[in-house]
Amino acid sequence: MRWGPDEPLKLEEITVNPPKASEVRIKLLYASVCHTDLLGLQRKPVVLGHEGVGVVESLGSDLTGFKIGDVVVPIYIGECGSCNNCKTGKMNMCMVYPFALTGLLLDGTSRMSARGKPLFNFFSCSTWSEYNFVDASYLVRVDSAMEHPHVSFLTCWFSTGYGALGRKPILSRDPLWPSSAWALSVLGFKYSLSNHYNRVDVNEAKRGLGEAFGMTRFLNPNKSDKSVPELIQEMTGGMGVDYCFECTGVIALVSQAVDSTKPGGGMAVVVGAGTDNDLHVNFITLLMGRTMKGTIFGGIKPRSDLPVLFDKCERKEIQLDQIESHEISLEELPNVEEILKQADCVKISFKF
Ligand SMILES: [Zn+2]
Ligand SMILES: [Zn+2]
């Protein structure tokens, strides 16, 4: 957990109270690390983590859809199925159970405390804890024999890339350019229908992983004096690309992503979370018919879409074995920021 904005990560003994009527207390089995955990977005003190899988340890009296021992995943958005957005079937921005940054449950309170102080949760998940609690509206049951670390990867990282990237290329045979430091875009590509997938990254160590997953071209902008949009235009006959996915959340890269797309229909998609709210995009660039949009969880609907992904993984249609690079112990967790910076680090997970 983290006590304050400039405080280091710390292991603490915390108290997790029994769940209220619509809530579930979960015993975590496995959790993983997503760079969003370390951006400092949530109120403090906070129990971090938003990727993980566990079993229902106890549950509130009003709940009928879950039972003790069920394998479950907490997700940071809900899916009521009946609000105006859910009814469209085209988006995951549920209006009844929205993405919440309050760090509290729906009744405005917390179930966790340490040293006598209430703790905030992270994106209604707080998976870096041996026990956590969640409103059942933000919970999905895992009826699959998938390996637990792989289930954890589906609770943000892989699914975000799969959802964001996996759908768009169906419309296009032209090149895609995820400007990303993440492997998620690589994975999303492999299971999409696109013919071309190109990757922009300053980390050469990611070239091999990209090639293993069918990457067409790799561009390291540190090896040229030209900007990324200039390099991309050069490589596409001056046109730019149909889709460019920005996965790092670095504001300067978002405008580069927009500038790298085709006039008259190119789209830049913001996938990664960042800390800077002030985005500057070239006005003329947008006026030329480009589109910029963002996505949370890659547009994946937790209750409708995740079971389909669980199935694909169980049948090895999607293979997640190749992507786990670091399994660490709970004691190593406070050093996770350093581990994440290592050139060969693709994905970190840990077992409880
Ligand atoms: Zn809804
Ligand atoms: Zn994430």
The answer to whether residues 292 and 346 belong to one domain is: no
Give the CA angle between residues 165, 140, 145 to the nearest 5°: 85
Query: What's the pTM value of the predicted model, to 2 decimals?
Result: 0.90
Domain membership flag for residue 2: no
In angstroms, what is the span from residue 301 Cα to ligand 1's centroid? 10
Ligand number with the minimum distance to the CA of 153: 2
The answer to whether residues 172 and 294 belong to one domain is: yes
- The confidence score (pLDDT) of residue 173 equals 37
In angstroms, what is the span from residue 329 Cα to ligand 2's centroid? 20
Please give the average per-residue pLDDT across 104-111, as a whole number. Answer: 91
Inform me whether the pLDDT recorded for 20 exceeds 90: yes
* Domain boundaries, position 225: 158-298
Q: Residue 352's pLDDT band (boundaries 50, 70, 90)?
A: very high
- The confidence score (pLDDT) of residue 189 equals 47
Helices (H), the chain: 84-88, 148-153, 157-167, 184-190, 205-212, 228-235, 251-259, 283-287, 302-314, 336-341
The answer to whether residues 49 and 132 belong to one domain is: yes
In angstroms, what is the span from residue 217 Cα to ligand 1's centroid? 39
CATH number at residue 49: 3.90.180.10
Domain membership flag for residue 64: yes
Q: Residue 233's pLDDT band (boundaries 50, 70, 90)?
A: confident
Domain membership flag for residue 39: yes
The answer to whether residues 75 and 24 belong to one domain is: yes
In angstroms, what is the span from residue 162 Cα to ligand 1's centroid? 22
The answer to whether residues 248 and 281 belong to one domain is: yes
Domain membership flag for residue 55: yes
Domain membership flag for residue 116: yes
Three-state SS at 229: helix
The answer to whether residues 149 and 20 belong to one domain is: yes
Count how many residues are written for the chain. Answer: 352
Over the stretch 26-77, which tens digit does the pLDDT of each residue have?
A: 999 999 998 889 888 889 999 999 999 999 999 999 899 999 999 999 999 9
The answer to whether residues 143 and 163 belong to one domain is: no
Ligand number with the minimum distance to the CA of 86: 1
The answer to whether residues 150 and 56 belong to one domain is: yes
DSSP calls for 184-214: HHHHHHHTS--S--EEE-S-THHHHHHHHTT
| Residues linked to residue 31 through DSSP beta bridges, in sequence order | 52, 350
Q: In the chain, how many domains are there?
A: 2
197-224 burial, b at 16+ Cβ within 10 Å, e below that, comes to bbbbbeeeebeebbeebebeeebebeee
Number of Cα atoms under 13 Å in the Cβ half of residue 153:
29
Ligand number with the minimum distance to the CA of 91: 1
Domain membership flag for residue 1: no
The answer to whether residues 51 and 113 belong to one domain is: yes
Residue 73's H or E segment, with its range, is strand 71-74
The answer to whether residues 174 and 97 belong to one domain is: no
